[in-house]
Structure 1
Amino acid sequence: MTAELATSALQMSLDKHRKPLIIHSDMGSQYTSAEFNIKCQNYGLKHSYSLKGHPYDNGRMESFHSILKREEVYLKVYQTLTEVQAAIGWYINFYNRNRISNVA
């Protein structure tokens, strides 16, 4: 993922949803980039990071990404980026509304 993509996703979220107080991410280069952090500053968001080498700081999201890949992404062959986006959007909605989650 690039800084541009992460910043674009943040902007889309800010446009659609109530502004959060805190954004939490790992220390990937896309999230530590000037572009991403300027966007956070412009919206008055506090940016919190997981510690390097401590994926359990963000365990719930790491677990969700694993489930998403296992139950949706790896089961299909996608032809276009639009297909991927639609499938992932559908799965996130399904997961949040219907799936019995065993993520602690």
Structure 2
Amino acid sequence: MEYQINGLDQIPEVAGEILKQLEYKLICFEGEMGAGKTTFIKEFVKLLGTDDDISSPTFSIVNEYDTEKGKVYHFDFYRLNDEEEALDFGIEDYFYSNAYCLME
């Protein structure tokens, strides 16, 4: 599925729609830097039920959040040079954890 958001006021509604329609817990977000991927992910994770502070994992590569629906892993692959780096930090373990994996 593909959505286009044209304003911040659309984020909660679109996040809710996506959450209702999800078939899988692996979600990729694509967009230019500053396009609002992390802003969207903050709303999405809040809908899963959390009080955690949600921030960009640019320097840590992955952030983990506890929600009412289980763990959520939020990845930012901006600083990775190739897929080997992702394999080295165990990306497959995250993917097979049955947790939401939100990837920028």
**TM-score of the two chains, using structure 2 as the length reference:** 0.31
More helix per residue: 1
Higher Cα Rg: structure 1 or 2? Answer: 1
User: Which has the bigger relative contact order, CA under 8 A and spacing at least 6?
Assistant: 2
More strand per residue: 2
